[in-house]
Structure 1
Amino acid sequence: LEGKTIAAPLALAFPILESVVLEEDELLQNLWANLLVTATDPARQAEVKRGFIHLIRQLDPIDAAVVKLLYRTYVDKLVLRNQGKHAAGDGFFHPRNAAIPGSTAQKTLGIPAMIAELALENLCRLGLANTLADISGQQVSLSVLGLKLMDACAGASPSP
């Protein structure tokens, strides 16, 4: 964090602290901790929505790994886009433009196909990811809600 911090509203701080203390998975602990950091940053506090707490509570560690993979893919494609002929201010880069094949999560994370499918279904149920089928098979991307959640949980380095 650069500069000052402010107290997070109690309605956000208490459930986040409660959840991070009870969480055993390191990736989920990091999501909680970074969400709290964002809530104490005066320039970014408005990014933290109360609903994010309920969404993270419904993630299993595998779900968190998959949504992180989708977010990392989005950020990587956004960086490439901004380095190319387009300027960074050329408008919103929709997460669906960073879709990956549905099998990527399974292969990248080294998890069974059924576990990956369940994680994707849970992320879609929560509205954090979208799937679409095309001629090349199932494609998966973050939703705008998923993007904003992960931006808020990215600590000091949200998507550009």
Structure 2
Amino acid sequence: MTRRTRAILRERDLAEAAPIAEQIAVPLLEAAQGDPRPEMQELWATLLANAMDPSRRDEVREEFISTLKRLHPTDALILKTMSERFPDRDWVPPHALMSEGLRQTALDVSLRNLGMNACADAHNGNYRITPFGLELVRACTA
């Protein structure tokens, strides 16, 4: 993760990294070290890079760390899909969020978990990303 974080900061041509508040740094590093999944490591590295970037550090919130810890890579993929395809927070049926190789039951579990973590809302069988979910994706995007 450290290598990837440094690479992100190099790509931004960042002259100097900002200090990270302890209430962000400690839980972020602990969570990242405890999560070996490559898809999640990329999110942790980007979140850390954003916390170190003076122009983006205010986007990184403490509650994003605890939420990200509770997400599965499939949840993160679906959340990103919602933010990219439906950034205006349109209500969409679940089939609009399907991707190749994803089982319907896995999608259902992920949508439920995203709802429990305040990242997605459900109404009449349709879903939309929440403002919290949009900001989480933004904080985890390079």
Question: What residue ranges of structure 2 are gaps of 5+ in the alignment?
Answer: 1-11
Matched with 1:7 is 19
Q: Which has the larger radius of gyration?
A: 1
Count of residue pairs brought into register by the alignment: 130
Cα displacement (A) at 1:14: 1.9
Tell me by how many angstroms 1:151 deviates: 0.4
Partner of 1:118: 109
Which residue number corresponds to residue 59 of structure 1?
71
RMSD: 1.7
**Which of 39, 43, 66 lines up with 1:31 in the alignment?**
43
Compute the displacement of 1:28 (Å).
1.1
Residue aligned with 1:130, SS:
strand
Displacement after TM superposition at 1:2 (Å):
4.2
Which of the numbers 41, 44, 67 marks the counterpart of 2:56? 44
**What amino acid does structure 1 have at the position aligned with 2:67?**
L
Q: What is the match of residue 79 of structure 1?
A: none
Superposition deviation, residue 96 in structure 1: 1.6
Which runs of no fewer than 5 residues in structure 1 stay unpaired?
Answer: 76-94, 156-160
Cα separation, 2, equivalents of 1:18 and 1:66 = 25
Per-residue deviation, 1:42: 0.9
**How far apart are the structure 1 equivalents of 2:34 and 2:47?**
15
Letter in 2 for 1:45: R
Q: Deviations over 1:46-85 (max 9, x none)?
A: 111100111001111221121121122145xxxxxxxxxx
Q: Residues 68-87 of structure 1: matches in 2 within 5 Å?
A: 68-74=80-86
- What CA distance in whole angstroms lies between the structure 2 residues aligned with 1:147 and 1:54? 16
Deviations 1:123-142 (A, max 9, x none): 01111011223xxxx33221
Question: Map of 1:102-113 to 2, 5 A cutoff?
Answer: 102-105=94-97, 107-113=98-104
TM-score normalised by length of structure 1: 0.73
Q: Which runs of 4+ in 1 moved over 3 A?
A: none
Render the CA deviation track for 1:103-160: whole Å, top value 9, x for unaligned: 233x314222122111101101111011223xxxx332210000001101002xxxxx
1:96 aligns with 2:89: yes
Query: Are 2:139 and 1:152 aligned?
Result: yes
Structure 1 residues 3-50: Cα deviation after superposition (integer angstroms, max 9, x where no partner): 332121122112212222221222211111111111011111111110
Q: 2:122 aligns to what SS in structure 1?
A: strand
